[in-house]
Structure formats: C-alpha cells, structure tokens
C-alpha cells in the first residue's frame, strides 16, 4: 500500500477510537452515525481547515507539514510512538520502483556479539521478522522444535510474525499470547510505514491477514507499538513457568535488524529456570549421540 493510502487509513482509525467526551466536546445527547470523532471535529481541534483534513483522509493531499502533523497528534491524543508513525506516513515520498530488496545478512561484528551472549537467549531478526540468527540458547528458548540451522539458509529462515500467529508451539509459549501478538502487529505496522514499497513485506502481511483472523482483526485497528522492553510470562517445555524480560536492541550498522535478548531477575526462580535450560543445551551439544533438541524434538 502507498504511504498516502496508509496515512488516510491511519487518520481514520485514530479518529474512530476517540469519543467526543475524551477531547472535551459536548454532544448534548445527539445521535451520531459514527462512534468516534467527526472529520470537522478533528480539524477544529487541530486548527486546520475541514476541507484540508478531508483531503488528507481521502488520500488527496500529497503530504502534511510537521506542524500540521504535531497538531493532529495533539488533537488525536497520540502516544509518542503513534506520533512518530504519523510523521513517517505524512512525509513526502519520491516514487520508487518496488524492487526486490537485497538479501539480509549477518555481519561479522553482529555474529561476534551474539556469540558473546552465550549465557542468555538471543535472536536476531530482519526487517520482516525473519530469523537471521540465534545463539543455541535463543534457539532452545524460542523455537527448539525447529532446525537450529534454519536461519543459515535464507529460503528456510523462520519468520517470527508467522511463528506467533500460525505456529502452535510458539503460541503455547506465551501465557499472555495477545500481549505478544499485539506487539508483533504494532511493530509490523511501524515497519510497513517506513517501507511501503517492500513487496515481500506486503506479501507477508497479506498472508497473515488471509491465514489468521486474529491477525486480520489486530491489523485493521492500525495500532502501532515499538518493541523495546517487555516482560512476558512464559510456559516453556524445559524451563517451565517463567517470567522473562525481552529487550529489543537495534543494530547500529543495520538499523532494520533487531537483536532480542532474554533475561530474568537476578537471583530469581526465573533466572534459575533459564540456567536449567542452558544446562540442557550444553548437554545436548556435548553428547553427539543425542540427536534431539533440548525441547525433545528431532533436531
């Protein structure tokens, strides 16, 4: 979808989420055809003409200035992440041919960084959520039922959004699955806003919309979320019931790549559970006769 198409849909979605009383408007009991704000109400709150705002929502205006974006963000009560997303969608874009992006690779520096994180689960994701690399503990924690060498083969790389929505094992890992699912969708929305011409990204969204009604519902509300640091209660086949913090870091020389590191509170039972998992990984590595993953599935 074009950036302008996304801008129009995003404004409509944000407007629909706000009630008049939330922004100090009185309705005096009048019946409204839509539950959210009207276009002219948003325009009035933002201090722009109603006709101009209508053009924005209809995808007719080429772009919006940063001042207008800031005014709309205040009127629609957007969070900082939502404001940044609106700013991304509203910036003028040069027409670019939708060429296939170059293959995503793991640099030597990033590989060294992941190797140094052997004591915690770590997983490297590309722009579209493809697993570019994981350390042994990261594989055991997130996807021990999959081939540990899969990320090394671009055609076979697991995709995290697909795993969360379409893979029963991954879904069972998260005791609060909707929380993780919302994070995946919100972050994917941000990525699509930055890369509207990425055909593979559009194809991924299309596949998820068609195969997962839950994804389709979440995608339709246009909520965005930056994946940074979130605690998740997990049910792991080896580690058991554990609460971990997943921190997502961007790779400086490859800003479309993110490194997710899993930690637990020092001295807690959760940390002890991760230590148990690490021990299982070491044992499976030391004993070549064990042709099974730490989760008990064929490697």
CATH number of the domain within which 26 lies: 1.10.260.40
Q: How far is CA 279 from CA 169, 232, 271, 274, in A?
A: 22, 22, 12, 9
- The rounded radius of gyration (Å) of the Cα atoms in the chain is 22
What is the three-class DSSP state of 191?
helix
Domain co-membership, 78 together with 208: no
Domain co-membership, 80 together with 159: no
Domain co-membership, 74 together with 159: no
Measured CA to CA, the distance from residue 87 to residue 207 in angstroms comes to 27
Domain that holds residue 208: 108-286
Note the pLDDT of residue 98. Answer: 55
Domain co-membership, 124 together with 199: yes
Domain co-membership, 241 together with 147: yes
| Regions of the chain where pLDDT drops below 70 | 1-4, 27-32, 62, 93-99, 286-299
Residues 6+ apart with CB under 8 A from 114: 122, 124, 133, 134, 135, 138, 259
Could you tell me if 211 and 10 are in contact, meaning their C-beta atoms sit under 8 angstroms apart?
no
Domain co-membership, 21 together with 115: no
Domain co-membership, 282 together with 222: yes
Domain co-membership, 159 together with 68: no
Q: How many structural domains does the chain have?
A: 2
Domain co-membership, 66 together with 119: no
**Nearest Cα residue to 38 out of 27, 29, 85:** 27
Please tell me the pTM assigned to this model.
0.87
| Residue at a domain's end among 25, 60, 90 | 90
Measured CA to CA, the distance from residue 169 to residue 140 in angstroms comes to 12
Measured CA to CA, the distance from residue 222 to residue 20 in angstroms comes to 20
Judge whether 194 lies within some domain.
Answer: yes
Residues 6+ apart with CB under 8 A from 39: 15, 50, 53, 54, 57
Note the pLDDT of residue 291. Answer: 45
Judge whether 95 lies within some domain.
Answer: no
Q: Which CATH number characterizes residue 157's domain? A: 3.30.450.180
Domain co-membership, 79 together with 122: no
Judge whether 103 lies within some domain.
Answer: no
Judge whether 100 lies within some domain.
Answer: no
Judge whether 230 lies within some domain.
Answer: yes
Note the pLDDT of residue 218. Answer: 96
Judge whether 140 lies within some domain.
Answer: yes
Domain co-membership, 57 together with 140: no
Measured CA to CA, the distance from residue 281 to residue 198 in angstroms comes to 37
Judge whether 149 lies within some domain.
Answer: yes
Judge whether 112 lies within some domain.
Answer: yes
Note the pLDDT of residue 10. Answer: 94
Domain co-membership, 191 together with 277: yes
Could you tell me if 87 and 66 are in contact, meaning their C-beta atoms sit under 8 angstroms apart?
yes
Note the pLDDT of residue 129. Answer: 97
């Amino acid at each position: 979808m074009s950036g302008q198409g996304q801008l129009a849909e995003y404004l409509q979605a944000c407007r629909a989420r706000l009630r008049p009383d939330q922004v100090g408007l009185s309705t005096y009991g009048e019946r409204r055809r839509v539950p959210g704000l009207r276009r002219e109400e948003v325009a009035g709150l933002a201090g722009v003409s109603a006709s101009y705002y209508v053009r924005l929502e209809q995808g007719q205006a080429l772009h919006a200035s940063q001042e207008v974006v800031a005014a709309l963000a205040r009127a629609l009560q957007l969070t900082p992440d939502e404001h940044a997303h609106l700013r991304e969608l509203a910036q003028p874009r040069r027409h670019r041919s939708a060429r296939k992006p170059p293959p995503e690779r793991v640099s030597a520096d990033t590989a060294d960084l992941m190797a140094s994180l052997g004591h915690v689960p770590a997983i490297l994701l590309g722009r579209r959520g493809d697993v570019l690399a994981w350390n042994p503990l990261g594989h055991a924690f997130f996807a021990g039922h999959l081939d540990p060498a899969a990320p090394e083969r671009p055609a076979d790389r697991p995709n995290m959004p697909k795993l969360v929505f379409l893979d029963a094992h991954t879904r069972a890992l998260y005791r609060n699955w909707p929380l993780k699912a919302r994070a995946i969708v919100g972050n994917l929305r941000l990525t699509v806003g930055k890369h509207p011409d990425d055909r593979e990204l559009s194809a991924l969204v299309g596949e998820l919309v068609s195969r997962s009604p839950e994804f389709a519902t979440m995608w339709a509300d246009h909520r965005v979320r930056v994946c940074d640091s979130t605690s998740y209660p997990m049910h792991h086949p080896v580690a058991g019931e554990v609460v971990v913090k997943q921190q997502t870091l961007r790779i400086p020389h490859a800003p479309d790549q993110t490194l997710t590191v899993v930690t637990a509170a020092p001295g807690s039972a959760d940390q002890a559970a991760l230590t148990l998992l690490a021990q299982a990984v070491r044992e499976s590595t030391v004993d070549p006769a064990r042709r099974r993953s730490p989760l008990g599935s064929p490697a």
